[in-house]
Amino acid sequence: MSQRTNLFTQLGEPAEPSVLCIPDRPRMTYMDQTKRTLWDRFITESPNCHVLQSWAWGELKRAFGWEPLRLGFWDPSFHHLVAAAQVLLRPIPLTGYSLAYVPKGPVMDWSDTALTQSFFTALHSHLSKRRIAFLRIEPDLPEKIHLLSPERSVDLLDAACVAKPEAFFGGRYSVAQSKKVTQQLEELRFLHTCDHAQPLRTIAVDLTPDEATIVLRQTRSRRYNANLAARKGVTIRLASSLDDVRRWYNLLEITRERNRFVGHPFSYYQRAWEALTAANQVQVFLAEHAGKLLAGAFVTLVGNQSTYLYGASSNEARNLKPNDLLQREAMCWAKAQGAAFYDMWGIADTDDPSDPQAGYTSFKQGWGGQVIEYVGSFDYVYSPTAYQAFLVGKKLLKSLVTARASLRQKRGTSKRSRQPPNEK
């Protein structure tokens, strides 16, 4: 009996879960609460695992209007999962339909073209019966992997990494494979769309070398700033209570106001911390000086992937460079936990220095990682009418949000122009 069969015995489950398809072939399987351990084991052991496909993440999204549907592709011959997709469902207003979204998935061996085709055939068969307008997937697959621009490049990069960038991550990413997957998805009638919810580009740091090599790959300024913070008495500790998370969130509000971005309410981060902590998949790092909180970071760990998910910092004592020490300690922790790489989780879509996100992109470029540009989003349409209604509604909503933001900016500019110089 295989190890995976033993897992079912330990869970008190039958050797084969309830299934939807014909016998002796991989079958689309409903993964309910009793299969949670099996689900997370498959996700974490997969080479392209991601926190957004973890069970805990689905429960977080459930609390905020999404219905997580976990579907596994069960191989009855070998008694194990061969593919899985955490599908998030949400109603499309005024249509009677829902959208289905798979962030950073499905999780499977994309190089197996037969598996990919049979998996999607079974997935479409299931979703088309549930009044789903369309399926959107954002696979964790790279379109490009490249070094940073020369003026921002790190001091040391292995020659092998320059020649073959995907080798930088132990073979996790393959641009050549991704091109084949993109072609196959288009042959399977997926539409390649420019719309995307997850970051289209990120910077990932390889954690597989020894710590000395990891440090040498960082820019001199990042190394100097981290050492400066330590010399000046900045300390790093892990959040241990909800009160710590609340203090971190107060910093996030300051960061939002400073950088002008939209985020979630405190209840969202509270749920994220509770759900991911219960699954042992997150740590919140806090940088303090003389008892005052200066910066903090949500860092997840699922399988061999660590992700810098959310960050916040104070307007005070920025000269102490707490964020640099924070990132260095988070990477050291992730490596010690067995992570193979550290995802900085998103940079600007372009290299334009005037891009609103250029500031934090510049910060992330100094840690010795490489830029990964993902293949983006793909839509499979079940109801063309409902799909078009979704696109029109989203376009109108975007226009409304843009108009409101422009109006707020004009009001703010007018108000500031009326203030005396000493009040600006």
Q: What is the pLDDT of residues 243-270, one digit of tens each?
A: 999 999 999 999 999 888 888 999 999 9
Distance set, CA 239 to CA 42, 233, 255, 257 (Å):
28, 19, 19, 23
Provide the pLDDT for residue 152. Answer: 47
Which residue bears the tokens 């009996």? 1
Tell me the one-letter amino acid at 387: Y
Instruction: Judge residue 233's burial from the number of C-beta atoms within 10 Å of its C-beta, 0-12 exposed, 13-18 middle, 19 or more buried.
Output: exposed
Provide the pLDDT for residue 309. Answer: 96
User: How many Å apart are CA 40 and CA 159, to the nearest integer?
Assistant: 36
Q: Are 223 and 389 in contact (CB under 8 A)?
A: no
Q: Are 213 and 160 in contact (CB under 8 A)?
A: no
* Cα angle value 185/110/123 (rounded, 5°): 60
User: How many Å apart are CA 360 and CA 203, to the nearest integer?
Assistant: 11
Provide the pLDDT for residue 354. Answer: 86
Burial 173-211 (b: 16+ CB within 10 A, else e): bbbeebeebbeebeeeebeeeeeeebbbbbbbbbbeeee
In sequence order, the β-bridge partners of residue 333 are none
What contacts 264, CB < 8 A, 6 or more positions away?
A: none
Q: Which of 201, 276, 289 is nearest to 245 (CA)?
A: 276
Residues lower than pLDDT 70 in the chain: 1-24, 148-172, 405, 408-424
User: How many Å apart are CA 78 and CA 61, to the nearest integer?
Assistant: 32
Helices (H), 164-301: 175-187, 211-216, 220-231, 242-259, 266-278
Provide the pLDDT for residue 149. Answer: 52
Provide the pLDDT for residue 15. Answer: 43
Provide the pLDDT for residue 6. Answer: 37
Provide the pLDDT for residue 411. Answer: 65
